[in-house]
Amino acid sequence: MSWLLAFVGFAALILIHEFGHFAAAKLTGMRVERFSLFFPPTIARVRRGETEYAIGLVPLGGYVKITGMNPEEELPAEVRSRAYFAQPVWKRVVVILAGPAMNLLLAFVLMLAFFWFLGPREPARTVAAVERDYPAAGELRPGDEIVAVDGRRGGAAELAEQLQTHRCPGALRPGCRAATPARVTVRRGERTFEIALRPLYDEQARRMRLGFRFSPDGPRRSLPFADSVKTAASNFWFVARETALLPLRLLDAEKRREISGVVGGYEVTRRTIVVDAADAIPIIAVISLSLAIVNLFPFLPLDGGHIFWALVEKVRRKPVRAAVMERSGAIGFALVLMLFLIGLTNDIGRLTNEGFQVR
């Protein structure tokens, strides 16, 4: 079932993207010949008016065919005035921009709905893992419940906050030990006891730590609407910025290994659905947002390439020669293919090494 649900999620992203192009083309008076979910060979089709609606066999995307997308295409006189390249630049930009805009809107709505109605899981107070070379090693065990720190009770966040009151003497430095021990109350099975542990400063995490992780399977906590908007906007901006910097990652061998593709996104979504379907919502939102940003990169055949050349035409006040766009399209296609292959090979590597575990 998880395979089907993940597939439906990805199909929905494609459908809403192409619907944006389709609706904008209709609203601006362009002639839409075909609206297709997935690529040929076509397995089902129906015609309504001048537009054919189809479903293809190859589930790698979808497309909207608008009359006159090729400026050198010979068209009958009765449809020529409604062709894509016969329209003013602003209409063409609106039609192309509508696809990514729908994915951006969907991403934000999904993020907002997740934080407002469901919320992320709060860490449970149960110890999930203990790290070596930290104070907790040999003292705590997976499955222990942290009842209190220095007598202060509460959730994982409150216990972690209390731990930060124990500071190193003098300036913080990597691995420095707190001047005072934290009194940790632990419940192990039927027994409850207290141990004194002096936290260490973790420079990477920038906080005092005992060296254990709480279980992520705590209760969900939804946020008030205003906080949900703020949190969704913060996450939206972070993902958008990191995706926009994707071309720079291609220049760094270490960061290049972090790039993921469609296979990785699909597999993470599928495995997340197996654990908790609700957690798939923000993942779908991130994928939708990333899809929109990548599509806005300014080279053909991506949407951003069409927008770029439309704006060039506006500045030049005359059409760009088809040969120029064809050459730029070949370069853009090579870049997209390279990005796809890097993501695919990284995904395969993670799959074979079971790198997509979500818990």
For the residues of 143-191, what is the DSSP string, one character each?
T-EEEEETTB--SHHHHHHHHTT---SSS--TTPBPSS-EEEEEEETTE
Residue 157's CATH number: 2.30.42.10
268 and 205 together in one domain: no
Please indicate, yes or no, if residue 219 is contained in any of the structural domains: no
The domain boundary residue, chosen from 172, 199, 214: 214
The domain boundary residue, chosen from 165, 180, 214: 214
Q: pLDDT per residue over 242-298, tens digit each?
A: 888 877 766 666 666 666 655 545 455 555 555 567 778 888 888 898 889 988 988
d(CA 85, CA 320): 11
Quote the pLDDT of residue 359. Answer: 41
Are the beta carbons of 70 and 86 closer than 8 angstroms?
no
Q: pLDDT per residue over 88-144, tens digit each?
A: 999 999 999 999 999 999 999 999 999 999 888 777 788 988 998 899 998 999 999
> What's 133's DSSP letter?
T
Backbone dihedral region of 259: left (phi > 0), alpha (psi from -120 to 50 degrees) or beta? beta
Quote the pLDDT of residue 356. Answer: 37
Answer yes or no: is pLDDT of 325 > 80: no
- Highest mean pLDDT: which range of 179-183, 242-246, 350-354: 179-183
Q: What is the tally of structural domains in the chain?
A: 2
d(CA 297, CA 215): 39
Token duo for residue 130: 């203990």
Which amino acid belongs to residue 109? Answer: V
d(CA 312, CA 306): 10
Please indicate, yes or no, if residue 60 is contained in any of the structural domains: no
> What's 220's DSSP letter?
B
> What's 332's DSSP letter?
H
207 and 137 together in one domain: yes
Are the beta carbons of 17 and 99 closer than 8 angstroms?
yes
More confident call, 232 vs 278: 232
Quote the pLDDT of residue 346. Answer: 59
Answer yes or no: is pLDDT of 164 > 80: yes
User: Whole-structure pTM over 0.85, yes or no?
Assistant: no
Please indicate, yes or no, if residue 38 is contained in any of the structural domains: no
DSSP secondary structure letters along 240-302: HHHHHTHHHHTT-HHHHTT---HHHHHHHHHHHHHH-GGGHHHHHHHHHHHHHHHHTSSSTTS
- Of the chain, the percentage scoring pLDDT greater than 90 comes to 40
d(CA 178, CA 163): 10
CA distances from 251 to 256, 257, 333 (A): 7, 11, 18
Quote the pLDDT of residue 76. Answer: 85
CA distances from 232 to 87, 91, 110 (A): 37, 31, 9
Residue 320 dihedral angles phi and psi, to the nearest 5°: -85, 135
7 and 115 together in one domain: yes
d(CA 77, CA 291): 37
Q: pLDDT per residue over 27-77, tens digit each?
A: 999 999 999 988 888 899 999 989 999 998 887 778 899 998 877 778 888
d(CA 298, CA 307): 7
The chain-wide mean pLDDT, for the chain, equals 83
Over residues 8-21, mean pLDDT = 86
Confidence of residue 357 (pLDDT cuts 50, 70, 90): very low
22 and 152 together in one domain: no
104 and 19 together in one domain: yes
Q: Which residue range is the domain that position 18 belongs to?
A: 2-31+67-119+238-352
More confident call, 215 vs 65: 65
Which amino acid belongs to residue 91? Answer: K
d(CA 232, CA 110): 9
Please indicate, yes or no, if residue 78 is contained in any of the structural domains: yes
175 and 97 together in one domain: no
Over residues 231-240, mean pLDDT = 91
278 and 252 together in one domain: yes
Please indicate, yes or no, if residue 201 is contained in any of the structural domains: yes
- Secondary structure of 112-126 as H, E, C letters: HHHHHHHCCECCCCE
111 and 134 together in one domain: no
d(CA 20, CA 12): 12
Over residues 13-39, mean pLDDT = 92
Please indicate, yes or no, if residue 59 is contained in any of the structural domains: no
The answer to whether the bond into 100 is cis (omega within 30° of 0) is no
Confidence of residue 354 (pLDDT cuts 50, 70, 90): very low
CA distances from 350 to 71, 184, 249, 268, 277 (A): 43, 38, 18, 11, 22
Quote the pLDDT of residue 111. Answer: 92
Quote the pLDDT of residue 258. Answer: 63
